[in-house]
């Protein structure tokens, strides 16, 4: 039986900071701060919604976080400009290492995309990146109306791939996702996309730490 590898999408395969170029035209020198604040609030809102059991789709969290960011940074954007930014989330750029990493991994492992985002959005992103063919399935938190790192979403993943935690890996750049999977009994690889990123000091460590996905197969071959 093939080992299953579940890939987080936003921030792991797809660069959420790819929206900065568009923001430069809209908010100029505030572009980087705007992008970082928007992403941080997007995640925060998903966490809060999950804890409150007041689920809305991830795209709604994204829209609410955009409105917050505009208010917090005192940026006046028109409805059409806001929609332009929201639409950009369907065509964010992929990290350059996935084009070489995924074909190699797909030869030996079963790959699935595993995201808080709606399946249609994830499919669009992976198709635009030219890598959708390497995934046997796209699994969304939306299917059970919750968000990572709720343990229920990791169980949903295992149900969908019809496998055990011991036979499944999570690959994510998000520390909360890695910790969630590890707490559930899965193995996990943390993709440290930025040198300055710090892993949460919770006493729960990833099995593997990498900077680029194209080095993942070497580590997995040693671990499995």
Which phi and psi angles does 113 have, rounded to 5°? Answer: -90, 140
Q: How many CB atoms lie within 10 A of CB 164?
A: 12
pLDDT digits (tens, 9 = 90+) for 34-91: 999 999 999 999 999 999 999 999 999 999 999 999 999 999 999 999 999 999 988 8
What does pTM read for this prediction?
Answer: 0.94
What is the spatial order of strands in the sheet that 208-210 belongs to? 137-140, 110-115, 4-7, 168-172, 187-191, 208-210
Q: Which spans in the chain are helix H?
A: 20-27, 31-52, 58-72, 79-88, 98-108, 119-128, 151-161, 175-183, 216-223
Query: Which structural domains are found in the chain, ordered by start?
Result: 4-14+93-223 (3.40.50.1000), 16-88 (1.10.150.240)
Residue 8: active-site member = yes
Kindly calculate the radius of gyration of the chain based on its CA atoms and give it in whole angstroms: 17
Q: How many CB atoms lie within 10 A of CB 128?
A: 15
Residue 1 reports pLDDT greater than 70: no
Sign of CA dihedral 187, 198, 192, 143: positive
| Choice among 8, 97, 142, 214 that is catalytic | 8
pLDDT digits (tens, 9 = 90+) for 170-223: 999 999 999 999 999 999 999 999 999 999 999 999 999 999 999 998 888 777
């Amino acid at each position: 039986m093939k080992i299953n590898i579940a890939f987080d999408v936003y921030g792991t395969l797809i660069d959420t900071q790819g929206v900065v170029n568009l923001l430069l035209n809209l908010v100029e020198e505030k572009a980087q701060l705007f992008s970082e604040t928007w992403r941080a609030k997007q995640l925060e809102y998903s966490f809060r919604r999950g804890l409150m059991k007041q689920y809305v789709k991830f795209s709604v969290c994204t829209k609410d976080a955009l409105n917050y960011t505009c208010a917090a940074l005192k940026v006046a954007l028109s409805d059409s400009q806001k929609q332009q930014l929201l639409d950009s989330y369907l065509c964010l750029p992929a990290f350059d290492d996935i084009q070489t990493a995924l074909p190699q991994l797909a030869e030996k492992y079963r790959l699935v995309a595993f995201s808080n985002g709606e399946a249609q959005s994830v499919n669009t992103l992976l198709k635009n990146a030219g890598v959708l063919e390497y995934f046997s399935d796209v699994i969304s938190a939306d299917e059970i109306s919750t968000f990572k790192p709720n343990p229920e979403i990791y169980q949903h993943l295992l149900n969908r791939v019809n496998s055990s935690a011991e036979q499944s890996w999570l690959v994510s750049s998000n520390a909360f996702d890695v910790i969630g999977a590890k707490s559930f009994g899965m193995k996990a690889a943390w993709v440290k996309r930025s040198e300055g990123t710090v892993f949460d000091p919770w006493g729960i460590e990833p099995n593997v730490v990498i900077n680029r996905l194209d080095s993942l197969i070497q580590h997995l071959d040693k671990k499995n």
